[in-house]
Structure 1
Amino acid sequence: MGHRARSRTRRNCPSLQEQLVHTTFLEELVFWTVKFEFPQKMVCLLLIMLPDTDYKEALTQAFVLHYSRISMMLERSTDPDTLSNRVVHVSVQLFSNESLAFRMAENLNLLHVMVISLKYMMGKILIQNTLHDADKNFHYVVDCGRQVMKEHCYWPLVSDLNNVLSHRPVAVKFMSDDNLLEMWFTFLAMFQGMNVNQREMTQHVEYEPNTYYAAFSAELEASAYPMWALVSHLIDSSSIDLTKRVLTSCLIALQDWLDAINFTHPHMNDSMQVSFHLPLHRYFSVFMCQAIKHQGLSLQEILPPRDVLTLIMMHPLRVQCFHWFPTFILTITITIISSHLISSHRDMERMSGVTWATISLTPLGISDEFMQPGQRMRD
């Protein structure tokens, strides 16, 4: 059903068609602007008449029609930094208008175009994930050594998405569309477990890998920023249904990920590798926290079944126990045991039983030699 819905979206979306037929001179002008990577004089020409309301709407429509082509130019450019700045210089002036952005989302499927463009860009640089047993891991993640990641070629697309999600009507439309949420979490799953670090036990690591910067930057920009843009609109009980939709889609994505990496029980004897990147866990924890702290839901209403919760908790717990976890990554564990979520001592006792029952040094694979200082990580 989801695949048919996505196919129908592509058929009904002019921006995603293989052939784009221009009907106005302005559309032709935008095409050549994209083709020649946004020459400065062309950009100035396009923007000079923005005070005219009719022209601004026509330019925004032409820009959206060519949006998927813009994403292709970004990944192919020999100077992605300059191109990115010029693209955003145009888009920020078009998408900052709430009513205009909403009309583009309604009439030209702008949100679908943005998410599909991001998925397409990242889908071309996927490699097999190596967490746990690589022979049984069928999950694919982005290759952090590729230009798209190192040069932040995705940045203009994410910036535009954050811009439109800052408008409440657009964000509500995003969170109300199950098909769109499914595509978004499929995109985020490409970062889940990326850039696996392997502990080196036999030789000195002469040079630290530089992929860690690309990985952390991507998770922050492409995952965390849109997340906070969405959460900012979920401020009271009137938006509970939206929060539940997001949590449901996120939980499905988490379960699919656990299946893909063949993680079926919480007992891991694998202390030699770790990935810091768990964006699906981040979303699940933050939206759960928002639901309980600001929207009046109880913990029992939104917690997944205990067996699923145990599996979900293990990767964040694993990293925390190893003292490898960066401070800005929010985890499901923090959410569950946080005083913000637990309203009574009885709840604390009950959740402590669920949370800490899964923490065992032996299943986590912690050994004496693991805790020795001076050991370093490599990719």
Structure 2
Amino acid sequence: MFYRTAAAQQQTAAARQNVCSRLGFQLLATRPSVAQHHQLQAAAPSQWGSASRGAASLGLLRVGSLVAMSCIADEALAASYTTEEPVASASGFGVAAAVATQVPKESMGKPDSSANLVLTAGAFVLPHPDKMHKGGEDWYFIAKNRRAVGVADGVGGWAEVGVDAGAYARQLMRNAADVADAATRGNGDGGAESSEILERAYGLTTVRGSSTACVAVLNGDHLAVSNLGDSGLLILRAGAVAFHTPQQQHGFNFPYQIGSPDSMSDPPQSAQRFEIRVQPGDLILLGTDGLWDNCFDEELACVLRYCRDQSMDAPKMAEVVAHYARHRASDSKFASPFAYSAFQAGFAYMGGKMDDITVLICLVQQPAKM
């Protein structure tokens, strides 16, 4: 009951077969080769790698123009942006935020070193048009006193029983920020790992609901990542995709999730854990499924290369990427990652998937270059 449902799942088997036969050739254009196919999971569009390059080029011949179009399309929304967290009485919502992690005092005056890398981060939340009044169901955190960030996506099915589906994600992320800050208070480096932050934040969250979550912590030049569900993290190095967390799905459009005791959700220990060595200049992109369901990896790399060419800071890049994903979500003829996953699972679906979109951008830097 408490998981996202696709419009395709409402169709009969006969209708699915009919539409698939008509749309299949479009989706096949974005499929991996036969040699690559066996390495993929049916509902894991983020793992397609180089196979997505063809799809990324569709409609992306002039990325600058397309980014501008996507931002103009949401011009009315931009006028109502606020830096406050969503409240039930809000009439509209959008948020842009940025914070640079504090440089440990003991590193002041020392030569730059990969051992004291820091993050400069910015985030942008773009709610589903129908959920603007309550600020959507996604949230994020950027820790003040350490190198930790995260995103969460509240499971929308809770709205069917009168529960604010975004409340769990917001409280979980506030708790994660508190845990991350407390872990390094008075201690310049080291501290909690990503899995510890997620598990402790989960233990402190008391509201009803459930959500997916992705938490990342920078310790020296190592990025520890815990990802549960279909939110995720991507790393770009020299403009190319270097790493992307795989999605965790029980079935098509049914992601792993953590939640309150009455949610029958997964334990936080189910999160997949990764440790990746990063270097100055790397760009880290965290997002909820509203991003990954609508944009291919190589497509995002192209958009972010454009952003860096325009010397945008992290908050502006997050805003541009969110608007770009919204542009894709509203395109009914786009063979999106979500459409491809639906096709692989035997459902008829074409176009993007309208959803809340949360984007968090981190630039890996040496302190002297902040």
TM-score band, normalised by shorter chain: under 0.3
Task: Give the structure with the higher percent helix.
Answer: 1
Higher RCO, 1 or 2 (CA under 8 Å, sep at least 6)? Answer: 2
TM-score (norm: length of structure 2)? 0.26
